[in-house]
Each structure stands twice: as C-alpha cells, then as structure tokens.
Structure 1
C-alpha cells in the first residue's frame, strides 16, 4: 500500500477513530493507505476521547454531515453500543462494537475484533480448531475474540479477568450459544493451555503489570497479543525469552482493515476492479 495521501478538500469524506489513550493506534495509517490505494476522497483522523466524554463526542459526531463513520477502540467498545441506533447480530451477541457507520436509520454498530484476531492467527499458521486456549480479559475485545474462537472450533477456552464476575458472565453466555465447547473461568495461572492470549490493555504502558502470571508459562505454548503499540509488550518479551512461540497484535488489525472499510459502506472489491480496469 502507498503512504501518499490524496489532497484534503472541502469534498473529502471523513472517518474517525475514538480511543483513550490514542497514541498507540495504527488504524489510521492502514485505513488511509487503503483509501488512497482505492482512489477514494476519504481520510481517517484520530480523536482522543475520555470515557466521561464519549456520549457528548458521539452526539457531536452525529452533526458532522461529512462524517461517514468511526472506529472505536479501548476503552469504548462496550460503552458505544448504548450510543448506537442499530447493532449487527454479532455486536448484540458480544455486547460491544468497534466500527460505527452512519446510515439512514442513524448510527449502526458492528464488531470485527474476533474475526480479525482469528484470521491473523490462521495467516500465521496457527489454527485454533481443536486447541485449548487461555484468554486474559473479559472486556469488549475479549468478548469478540472468545466468540470467534468458539466459532473456529476451539476445544477448551478458559477466561480470566481481574473482576471475576465479568468472566463468569461471559462464560455463561458462551455456554448457551456453544454447548460443545468446554468453557471455564480461570485464574492468573495460564499453565496447561496451548494458546495464551492477552485481550486486556495491560501492556500499553511500560510500567503495566503482566496480564497473567508469567511464571506459569512454558516453552511449548503460543502467546498472543492484541496490543499493537508497543509491538513487543512485556508479556511477549518474557514469553520469547522463555522459548514460546509469540504472535503480535498487529495482524488482528491488518486482517480487519478491509472488513472495517466494508462495514462503513466502502465497496472495496468494486473499487479494486475499477482501478485494475483503468
């Protein structure tokens, strides 16, 4: 993808990404490259939004006529669903959204974290089907990843969260939808699982604690992140020194970019075909 952006004019359509913090996000780079490659007069800009200001910011975005939609990331994925007018079946099931599109009916929310994460694993030669997995976190991204892992045919999934009740609630919901999968509520101990996933925000900052007990890790495990910046979180550094196979957070986004564009009404396939014909 090219990194040369098209000129921004009064006709340029705008997309946004909402996060707190915002410095670590990579979506604008990839989305802007995709839209430039497709020859679209659109641009994505990052907005740093505190949780207490989310509702007022979204209300303001509704009034921007040149705004086609926005991406939502940590910590707003669960809160945003209350601010949407309609939700996709996946967003309703997960209880979170990470992409919001303006439609004739208002703001429509969808969730793509899970499908993006599983696609990233598979692109790296890691197939979740039949595996046992440990998932740290029970927030918006963790919910989406848990559902997609279950859909992918995971054998057993243990979910651990600092607030245990959130993990218990997630496990209860998953058991109702996927009765053949062995779901468990876990502790910080990740031993005995083939795939270990950090789906929390712990690791964004240098002084963050580990999202799990790293002393429980063993060299035969695959340790995966959803955090993209820094690329090497403290968890991945520890796991790599231990001899574990590590999986970075960036592939989850890479696999989501086209899905995100399509979710916001961009017909990527048609635009690609038109450019090839030209």
Structure 2
C-alpha cells in the first residue's frame, strides 16, 4: 500500500517483466512526493509502470544517471535537489523551459535512444498559484532562490504577467546571471536584491531547500511584509514549513509546495507520453 500526499491509501500492482520503469533522483530524496502521485496516475490509467525514488550522493550522480539511461525498460527520469542544473549535461536535447532555465527536472527517452530534458517546476508552480487564487499577473513578486527550481519559476512568473520580479540568492552572481537571461526576454521587469522586497511585494516565494530540515532557519525574514501579501514555499515535506508557520502566525496568507507538484503530474503525463 502507498499513501498519497493527501493521505489516501492505494495499492500499487506488482511489477512484471513488461513493466516500464521511471525514477526520481535526489539527495536527499525522502521528501519527494512524486512516487505516490505518479504511481497513482499509473494505477488510475491502468498503465503497467512504476516510479521509484533513488538517493545518490553528488560524487556518484554522473555514473548513476548514465547507468539509468542504459536500462532498456526505463522510460523517464525525474530530478530533484541538488541535480537540476547538472541534469542538463546528461540530455541530448533541451526543450525551451530547460534551455531558458538552464536546469531540468524531467528527462525522457526518445524512440531513437536519445534523451530530451524539460523543466516543469515553473509552469507547475504558477498554475498552482493561479488555481489557489493568487494570480501573479500585474503583481510584484519576490523570489528567493536562483537554483534549480528558482530558475524555472522565475521565467514562468514573468510569462504569466508579473509586473516586477525581485530576485535574491545566497549567490549574488547566480542571481545576476539569471536576471541577465530574463532581461533579454522581459526587459525592465527584473531586479536583483540582497533580500526580498517585503514592503512592496504581493507574493513572496521561497524557492530554496531551506526548510527541509526542522533545524533550518527561515529562508527570509517576514518583518515589513504587507498584511495582504501571500507567502509561498516550494518545499513539499514538511507540508507546513517553518516559513509557512511563521507567516500564518502573523495572519498572512500562505501557499504550500504540494500545489507545484500536483499541477505537474498532468504535464509529466504528456511529456512522458503516458496514455
């Protein structure tokens, strides 16, 4: 039996010799929710396939992903922290979102044996925001984190119509590099700062891994955040991160990370060409 992020239990069929394989790779990987959601998709659509989590240390990642690509009945790979940037190096083709972000969270085997990479974090996150009533169109959005997820979320926010995107990251150089790429497509709509623009932001987003562990500090402070602002987190486990708890304690609206993944499941289905 497997439990979905919503607490629903369901039975995954026993794999057979004809079962198609999918994997999600990360370090750590215990927090990932994709196996439950994807395996439920396979059950609901009566597809003989299974997705399994694989934890691999950074030094072993290149060998591991190249080995997975050589498994003949493995059709796709999902990628989570900290491998979204380096995943692009192991693809033969980059779809537009992966190319623009410079990172990927999904790789698909093609009929000719080559591999195509794409990134659905951004569109999944924005669709989740819109679905929850937090449309970023014409809003000022502060995005903390220019890593694997942030590089995908940033262009998706701008494509959706965010009026201004304020980028911050522990690496100012990384934030500047992302801003430079975005400026080409969306001039004068991106600003790099050392911290979120608390007083002017309608939406503030944590797109870093800070919050995965109980002992983690807040990814950013909440002093000066407007009472009508929304505080969002991409972290899915724990569902209520320290950041979201702190925001709720101040009476702010919050947006948890599971919405980003749940919106991506249909995107994964199409990308992996699952019937």
Secondary structure of the residue aligned to 1:134 is strand
**1:182-234 Cα distance to aligned partner (Å, 9 max, x none):** 21111224412110000000000011121112324332210001000001111
SS of 2:24's equivalent in the other structure is strand
Are the counterparts in 2 of residues 220 and 243 from structure 1 also a CA contact under 8 Å?
no
1:54 match: 61
Any idea what SS the aligned residue of 2:235 has?
Answer: coil
1:60-97 CA deviation, whole Å, 9 max, x = no partner?
11221110111001111011001111111221111010
Alignment partner of 2:38: what SS? helix
Q: Give the equivalent residue in structure 2 for 1:182.
A: 189
**Structure 1, unpaired ranges of 5+:** 268-278
Q: CA deviation at 1:52?
A: 1.6
1:211 counterpart SS class: coil
Question: Cα RMSD (Å) of the superposition?
Answer: 1.3
Tell me, in whole angstroms, the C-alpha distance in 2 between the residues paired with 1:210 and 1:188.
Answer: 13
3-state SS of paired residue (1:82):
helix
Residue 44 of structure 1 corresponds to which residue in structure 2?
51
TM-score (norm 1): 0.93
Match for residue 211 of structure 2 among 203, 222, 226: 203
Contact 2:201/2:225, CA 8 A, preserved across alignment:
no
1:98 aligns with 2:105: yes
In 2: Cα distance, 1:85 partner to 1:126 partner = 36
Alpha-carbon distance in structure 1 between the residues aligned to 2:99 and 2:40: 30
Structure 2 residue runs of 5 or longer lacking an equivalent are: 1-7
Deviation string, structure 1 residues 250-278 (Cα, Å, up to 9, x no partner): 010000011112111213xxxxxxxxxxx
Equivalence for 1:260: 268
- Alpha-carbon offset, residue 2 of structure 1: 7.2
- Would you say 1:153 and 2:153 are equivalent positions? no
Higher helix share: 1
Mapping for residues 79-118 of structure 1, pairs under 5 Å:
79-103=86-110, 104-118=112-126
- Paired residues in the alignment total 266
